Amino acid sequence: MYLSLLYIVLIVGANILASLWLLPLPFGMAVPAGVFLIAPIFTLRDRIQLDRGAKYVYILIFIGAIVSWLMGVLTDSHLLGRVAFAGVVAFVASESLDTMIFSYYKHSFVKRILVSNLFSTALDTILFIWIAFGWQTNLMTGQWILKMLLAAAVIPLIIPRKS
């Protein structure tokens, strides 16, 4: 239950941060600040799926999408509303893709995470940036690279212990 709640809290926090700050990166790239919270979500989702199953994950994806959308509706911030809407679209699409790849790619836990994250973070990044900020390659490239690095960094924290 703790990981499920953390999963939803990270989604909400990521949307708030993304609507507040764009952070510069080297080589002219930049990222919405929410990437620091959203990137670990992809890896965390894989662990929750391993523990609770894909159906449970789809329920959490739905809850996360609804909470993100409501957050945008309940604020007066036009950008936060766009960010929340972009988050809902990107989140549902990318987390569904991640869930499918993780379910059907039959290798070690770590390989399943890396492969599912490779594709789902790319889809999430493209959809989110395009809807929230317009087509901006510098934001897409920076966010995708940073998401993959951060998502990979979380792996050691969630590897299941052998009984």
What residue spans define the domains of the chain? 2-157
Helix or strand run (H / E) with residue 106: none
Instruction: Indicate the pLDDT class of residue 130, thresholds 50, 70 and 90.
Output: very high
Q: Which two tokens stand for residue 95?
A: 């987390």
pLDDT in the model for residue 127: 96
* pLDDT tens column, 25-78: 888 888 888 888 887 887 888 889 889 988 898 888 888 878 877 877 777 666
pTM of this structure: 0.78
CA nearest 116: which of 12, 45, 11? 45
Cα distance between residue 25 and residue 60, in whole Å: 32
CATH number of this structure's domain 2-157: 1.10.1760
Cα distance between residue 18 and residue 122, in whole Å: 17
Cα distance between residue 142 and residue 119, in whole Å: 15
Instruction: Indicate the pLDDT class of residue 163, thresholds 50, 70 and 90.
Output: very low
